[in-house]
Amino acid sequence: MPRDPREPQRPTLSLALLRARARDPSRRLGVLLWNPGGPGGSGVRQLPAFWRSANGTMNELTQRFDWVGFDPRGVGASRPAVDCVDDAALERLRALDLGDDSDAARGALESEARAFITGCQARTPAEVLTAVGSPEAAEDLDRIREALGEEVINYLGISYGTWLGALYAQRFPRRVRAFALDSAASEEGDRRERSRRRARAFEAALTRFLGWCAETPSCGLRRASPEATGAAFDALARRLGGAPLAVGARRAGPAELFSAVVLGLRARQWPPLAAALAAAERGDGAMLLSLADADRGRQGDGSYFNNTEAFAAISFLDSPFPSGFTVGDYTRFVTAELVPLAPRMGRWASQLEFVAALWPLRRALPAPPLGATTAPPILLLGGLHDPATPYELAQRMRDTLANGSHLVTYEGDGHAQVQQSACARAAVVRFLVDPSRAPATDRCPAE
């Protein structure tokens, strides 16, 4: 791919692709590009497991489409990949206690943020860091289409993948056959509003989890009421803040606790999360640490995928804080706005935002407002209790696309509705096979 789509003869970068061919070639409908989200998620690494799952739950799609997973520019096996710091530095960065308001803690945040940014600039070419934004990645999708020899493409995007798909539909409306966008995300607008939305959604999701726990005998954190269960959770968080649990040579402190919570709420893994919290109450932090590692992309050998670094480079370029924003400004914003808005999750719903406060790279021109009035209707899925991409974003994307797109609402919990709901999966299958048919229902009950 050209680093700058406007200058196709200039230096290039390479994208990694992985294809699983249609299991029934005689009924093949084309290619289905798939993006798992992020930004920073690797379609190449994650496609095999997702495809195997879809082969059981959405098997008409594996029969009739060539599935193509791709690593967007800067991500995973694409080259050059965004590289900022070594694994030890990532471990320190993700373990910082965002609940500490002291001057020393604020100084540590700024020091780690500057080290991360300096590392990105030293280890990744500047012309790559300024070219990994979503508009450029959307242009890449059309070059992938060309390379595959297809006139039109089909697309299934999850979370951030919805934003990428929407940008493609805006830029290349005539190349769209059938697009399904699950858990609509947005990378436009003021980053502070993005933080507010996310904090509110995770706070609501944690409250729902604690209510479930209070009513579920098998939940080890259970107390007599939701309020008492919440108090037990708060006490555990304070305890870990003062005395993190040793897990071998590592530790499980508040950062690990809330990373585990984010994963448990996002993936709707409520029983595993409850078990991890109960174990931590007993002094065993191993389960918390395991969930936190899964949330952060840490492998068993202590190495990290580059999703954290790619997330930073892509998201901070797409959606920066105002020019001149500082770490101090960010911590004041958290204290004055996010914590009152979301007392438990305000500090933790977006764990790398203090780095965004100092991110130095800016777009020369902002991306145009989203809209795809000449694209065919798209299928959107939104979850009423999705903690990662609040439901309002799905409504907003439907309205701003302004092309008659359909919105199917899942009434349950968790992020990525095709992973939560058989009804949502059926809607995706029906639409991708025949996009001329409207969804059979616009509501999917909680499962």
**Interatomic CA distance for residues 347 and 418, integer angstroms:** 29
Q: Is the dihedral of CA 340, 341, 345, 349 positive or negative?
A: negative
Residues 6+ apart with CB under 8 A from 264: 209, 270, 272, 273, 276, 291
Half-sphere exposure of 382 (CA within 13 A, CB side): 20
Q: Are 175 and 145 in contact (CB under 8 A)?
A: yes
**Interatomic CA distance for residues 71 and 167, integer angstroms:** 17
Specify the fold of 16-79+132-188+367-444: Rossmann fold (3.40.50)
Q: Where are the beta strands (DSSP E) in 273-427?
A: 379-385, 406-413
Domain ranges of the chain: 16-79+132-188+367-444, 84-123+190-364
**pLDDT tens, residue order, the chain (447 aa):** 888 877 777 788 999 999 999 999 999 999 999 999 999 999 999 999 999 999 999 999 999 999 999 999 999 999 999 999 999 999 999 899 999 889 999 999 999 999 999 999 999 999 899 999 999 999 999 999 999 999 999 999 999 999 999 999 999 999 999 999 999 999 887 899 999 999 999 999 999 999 999 999 999 999 999 999 999 999 999 999 999 999 999 999 999 999 999 999 999 999 999 999 999 999 999 999 999 999 999 999 999 999 999 999 999 999 999 989 999 999 999 999 999 999 999 999 888 899 999 999 988 766 678 999 999 999 999 999 999 999 999 999 999 999 999 999 999 999 999 999 999 999 999 999 999 999 999 999 999
Query: And the tokens for 307?
Result: 């999703």
